[in-house]
A and B are shown apart, each in its own frame.
Chain A
Amino acid sequence: MAKESSASSSNSITKYQFTLSDESKERILKVLDYSKTIAHYGFIPFVLYLGWSATSNKPSILSLLSPFPSA
């Protein structure tokens, strides 16, 4: 009787709990890690792209990249 009640209570807990396998946990962590890296290295190219697309005469990538004045 006591065994039954404990089993039913554990069942009710698992009903509302979202359990993740270790594999999927690892996968999520990896995806988060990759997205962080993409945001880190992709932000500056994104800023450059916005600057390129906003200008009507579409300057060359080199002139956008270079901080030195082009002659």
Chain B
Amino acid sequence: MYTYMEYLQKCYYKSIGWNEDNIYSNITATSNALLEFSIPNGIKIDNSNKTTDYSASSFTLSNQHQINGSLAYLYSSIPLTNTMGTKEISLQDAIAGFKIIEPVLLVNKQLNSNLNSKSSSLLYGRMYFPGSALEAMLIKRISENTQLLIKCISNPHLEKNGTMIVYLQNNKTKYSRELIFSTNELLLGVRCLYNLGSSLNSKINPNLIPKFDNSVVSIGTELWYAARTMSPGLSTALRYSTRSTSTGKPLTMTLAINPILGHVSSTYTVKTSVASTFCSKYDFNFFSYASNLSLGFELYSYSRKKNNLKSFPIKNDLPPTNTEILNQIRSIDNGYQIKPDLVSSKTLNNQAVTTAFQNLVNESDFSSVLKVSTSLNDKMMKLLWEGRCKDILVSTGVKIALNPTTNTPEVNRLGISFSYAC
């Protein structure tokens, strides 16, 4: 689950038209959300309040080893009017899950509509108690497509009083570039991501674009150099995201390679229905021949309030189109034949089906989600339940791992967290 401050940062990005999916570090965001989700440890209480449209505050208490807490404040130079409290927020926005990658054209349109917020900024500070460590972040938009992001941790008890990392990001619809500098090991980095395919001009009428062309292929790479230890780093990744033409269900495939460490990681994630997603990941190292298979899924359950469903006009349209598509292929005497009268209607329905599916996902009213992930080589299993109880978002989970020496299952992590925001 995102913290309220992370959620506000996402709302800020949305209101300035900054496309986070176009950043190299988010290329595996979907599979990370399904497999690498974190389990709360101990009890944690988070209470947040959006004081005004420009500022918000948050207070956190947790009992990890000892009782500790933190106070956070956020300032945005543009009014954050598109935010919601935990009472009415949709779970899809509050929890990291399947990310539908938008084709270039849609993103382009979104960016153009937000040209007025050219030089906006966001400041965020969090102080931890006891110890008074400071976590600070600054986002400053330099031009329409460029922003400066500075993250910093200041703690008098840390070596050199903490660390700082500076990102200079240039994000365009076709490509994105990043220059990174970190004071830790004097790390220098360059990242870029390029969206393959013909560039779609926003002047073209969206209706003229082929209806099946809603896939995105992105290729990216990163180069690192640690000046203090003189050690280099390199990785490259490919992401293919598309939607099934018949059912409109989105799927994402990624392939990430690190030639220096000899690591290859491939993932396949598919949204199997409106309320479920399945993800698999296969890791392989061609130096050590070690491999690992991870599987994960998430299941949403609908809210019991039936009156909310009436507000979805698409809900009533989808079932007939779905059944129509399923019946296109009918069995005749041990063989299958495509119904000729339905094929033409399929092409007409393609766009409608994909948008209907996406709208259904976005507008469904879910009350809770169950996430399960397992890894065969690590011999562990993670279970996480996140949902809404009254107006509070609750997240509880457990991580069970097999002890390598005694071969008995052990509880590694167990916790519950409550968060309330208004």
A contact set with B: CB distance below 8 Å? 36, 39-41, 43-44, 46-48, 50-52, 54-55, 59, 63-69
Cβ of B25 within 8 Å of any chain A Cβ, yes or no, is no
Cross-chain contact B49 with A44 (CB below 8 angstroms): no
Cross-chain contact B59 with A51 (CB below 8 angstroms): no
B contact set with A: CB distance below 8 Å? 47-49, 51-55, 57-59, 71, 73-75, 77, 123-125, 127, 132, 134, 136, 154, 156, 161, 422
Tell me how far the C-beta of A63 lies from the nearest C-beta in chain B, rounded to whole angstroms: 6
The SS class assigned to the A binding surface is helix
Say which residue of A44, A65, A67 sits within 8 Å of B127 (CB atoms): A44
Query: How many cross-chain pairs have Cβ atoms below 8 Å apart between A and B?
Result: 72
Cross-chain contact A69 with B73 (CB below 8 angstroms): no
Cross-chain contact B55 with A54 (CB below 8 angstroms): yes
Q: Known A51-B73, A67-B71, A68-B59; judge A36-B161 contact (CB<8 A).
A: yes
Q: List 24 A-B contacts (CB under 8 A).
A: A36-B154, A40-B134, A41-B132, A44-B125, A44-B134, A46-B125, A47-B55, A47-B73, A47-B75, A47-B125, A50-B54, A51-B74, A54-B52, A54-B75, A55-B52, A55-B54, A59-B51, A59-B52, A64-B57, A66-B49, A66-B57, A67-B47, A67-B71, A69-B422
Cross-chain contact B75 with A50 (CB below 8 angstroms): yes
- Chain B residues whose CB sits within 8 angstroms of the CB of A64 once the complex forms: 51-52, 55, 57
Tell me how far the C-beta of A47 lies from the nearest C-beta in chain B, rounded to whole angstroms: 5
Tell me how far the C-beta of A5 lies from the nearest C-beta in chain B, rounded to whole angstroms: 39
Say which residue of A43, A52, A68 sits within 8 Å of B125 (CB atoms): A43
- Chain B residues whose CB sits within 8 angstroms of the CB of A41 once the complex forms: 132
- Chain A residues whose CB sits within 8 angstroms of the CB of B54 once the complex forms: 50-51, 54-55
The SS class assigned to the B binding surface is strand
Tell me how far the C-beta of A49 lies from the nearest C-beta in chain B, rounded to whole angstroms: 9
Q: How far is A66 from B123 in the complex, measured between Cα atoms in Å? A: 18
Say which residue of B52, B53, B74, B134 sits within 8 Å of A43 (CB atoms): B134
Say which residue of A43, A50, A55, A66 sits within 8 Å of B136 (CB atoms): A43
Q: How far is A40 from B132 in the complex, measured between Cα atoms in Å? A: 9
Say which residue of B52, B71, B132, B161 sits within 8 Å of A51 (CB atoms): B52
Tell me how far the C-beta of A4 lies from the nearest C-beta in chain B, rounded to whole angstroms: 43
Could you list 16 further interchain pairs (A-B, Cβ under 8 angstroms) beyond the known A67-B48, A67-B71?
Answer: A40-B156, A43-B125, A44-B127, A46-B123, A47-B75, A47-B123, A48-B55, A50-B54, A50-B75, A51-B55, A55-B52, A64-B51, A64-B57, A66-B49, A67-B59, A69-B49
8 closest A-B pairs by beta carbon, nearest first, are A51-B55, A67-B59, A54-B54, A67-B57, A55-B52, A51-B75, A50-B75, A44-B125
Residue ID in chain B nearest A63 by CB atoms: B51
Tell me how far the C-beta of B369 lies from the nearest C-beta in chain A, rounded to whole angstroms: 26
- Chain B residues whose CB sits within 8 angstroms of the CB of A52 once the complex forms: 55
